[in-house]
């Protein structure tokens, strides 16, 4: 019972860190390194105490750190995510040497027994859920016009009020409306053209797509891993067995 309350305390401290990191990443598109350093510093006593409580395997802890570090580095080098995403997974691999069991959770399984790996797995397979959410939201609004793909990836905003950290799916070029399949980062000239076009009544609203940082999905994957377990591991098990 003491271990369950111990892990509950760890999780309670971890989630605010991740949520705050998401907030900073959404607002500034970068997370200061000191946040991860503070996180390691605060959780160092937890890890030491955990060793004496559950006697976890130090070699397995080293193995999972090397695994997560290698995957995170490869993902970063191939441009699949940013530095903050990699650091978040690496920190989780250090501060969670044991997959936490809190009362009746995780409900499904513990995957390979590596919380950081299950977090990565869940974050990848659940990221498309955002696309479905955006599509349903657009359908409810009954929006018309634009590419059908836009209904899954974006939404419409006033042409002269482009939200921060959003890419354009439509923009004005030489007085004409241009539509693209992949979002284009707006520059000052594009923003001026859009504002001018709206003032002249040529265009009212345009489609934009948010640049959502992957750290948001990592945080969601972490929570899912705690409550359910490794969903991809479970799906593969159903298919093979």
Same domain, 42 and 94: yes
- For residue 21, what is the domain's CATH number? 1.20.120.1220
pLDDT of residue 108: 93
Residue 145's pLDDT band (cuts 50, 70, 90):
low
pLDDT at residue 131 tops 80: no
pLDDT at residue 122 tops 90: yes
> And the tokens for 108?
């499904």
Same domain, 122 and 20: yes
Strand order in the sheet with 155-158: 155-158, 205-210, 166-173, 176-184
Tell me the C-alpha distance between 37 and 195, whole Å. Answer: 43
Same domain, 107 and 160: no
- How many domains are there within the chain? 2
Supply the DSSP symbol for 154: -
Q: What is the pLDDT of residues 20-70, one digit of tens each?
A: 999 998 888 789 999 999 999 999 999 999 999 988 999 999 999 999 999
Q: What is the pTM of this model?
A: 0.78
Same domain, 123 and 10: yes
Same domain, 233 and 120: yes
Same domain, 120 and 220: yes
Identify whether the C-beta of residue 127 lies closer than 8 Å to the C-beta of residue 100: no
Same domain, 107 and 141: no
Same domain, 94 and 6: yes
Share of the chain above pLDDT 70, in %: 98
Give me the domain span that covers residue 142.
129-210
């Amino acid at each position: 019972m003491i271990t369950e309350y111990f892990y509950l305390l760890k999780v309670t401290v971890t989630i605010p860190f991740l949520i705050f990191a998401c907030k900073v990443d959404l607002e500034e598109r970068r997370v200061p390194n000191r946040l991860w350093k503070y996180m390691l510093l605060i959780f160092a006593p937890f890890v030491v105490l955990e060793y004496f409580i559950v006697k976890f395997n130090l070699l397995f802890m080293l193995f999972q750190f090397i695994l997560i570090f290698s995957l995170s580095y490869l993902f970063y080098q191939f441009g699949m995510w940013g530095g903050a995403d990699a650091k978040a997974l690496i920190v989780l691999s250090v501060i969670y040497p044991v997959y936490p069991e809190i009362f009746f959770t995780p409900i499904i399984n513990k995957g390979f027994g590596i919380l950081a790996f299950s977090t990565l797995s869940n974050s990848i397979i659940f990221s498309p859920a955002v696309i479905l959410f955006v599509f349903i939201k657009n359908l409810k609004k009954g929006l018309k016009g634009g590419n059908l793909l836009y209904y899954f990836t974006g939404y419409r905003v006033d042409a002269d009020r482009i939200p921060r950290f959003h890419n354009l799916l439509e923009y004005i070029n030489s007085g004409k409306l241009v539509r693209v399949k992949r979002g284009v980062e707006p520059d000052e000239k594009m923003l001026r053209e859009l504002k001018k076009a709206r003032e002249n009544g040529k265009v009212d609203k345009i489609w934009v797509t948010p640049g959502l940082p992957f750290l948001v999905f990592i945080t969601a994957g972490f929570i899912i891993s705690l409550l359910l377990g490794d969903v991809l591991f479970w799906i593969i098990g159903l298919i093979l067995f």
